[in-house]
Amino acid sequence: MPPSTPTPDVDADVTRLAGELVTAASRLVRQVRRSSPQVAPALRVLAMLDDHGPITVGRVAELDGTSQPTATAAVRGLVRQGWVQRTPHPVDARSTLLGLTPAGRSTLAEQRRRNAALVRDRLVAAGRHSPDDLARAVDLLRALTEGTA
């Protein structure tokens, strides 16, 4: 059965709620990032490498919406920390690929645990949401970010 065409009222409600969803998700991300402000930029790069790696610095810049010099500086710091390693690109000898080291993977996992605990504590304190509510929210956000909504 083909999807029905929304009425103007339904479309307006969906548009309003979609905007509220983006705003609320952005606020939550900012609040979680404020809990570890010195780590947030590094975590973005580590998460990109976890999701997309191994990738080039140019791809990091593209995914992060930054310039290549900015991405290069961020990566340089992560290499110094021992969280990212450079390996020769198998096809382009002028380029290197970036990947997570075990220490980088561990750092990312630990920060994700902290972030989850922060959100969990807020959910428990609110006492209004069931695990099923949370599962539906996760499903919706995944579908939206993966383009399957």
Beta bridge partners of 98: 55, 86
Highest mean pLDDT among 80-89, 116-125, 140-149: 80-89
1 pLDDT band (50/70/90 cuts)? Answer: very low
37: preceding bond cis by omega (within 30 degrees) = no
149 pLDDT band (50/70/90 cuts)? Answer: low
56, 89 contact by CB (below 8 A): yes
8 or 20, greater pLDDT: 20
Phi-psi region of 55 (alpha: psi -120 to 50; beta: other; left: phi over 0): beta
Sign of CA dihedral 13, 15, 21, 27: negative
pTM for the predicted model, two decimal places? 0.79
Residue whose C-alpha is closest to residue 76's, from 85, 65, 67, 64: 85
C-alpha 82: how far from its chain's center?
A: 21
The average confidence (pLDDT) of the chain is 88
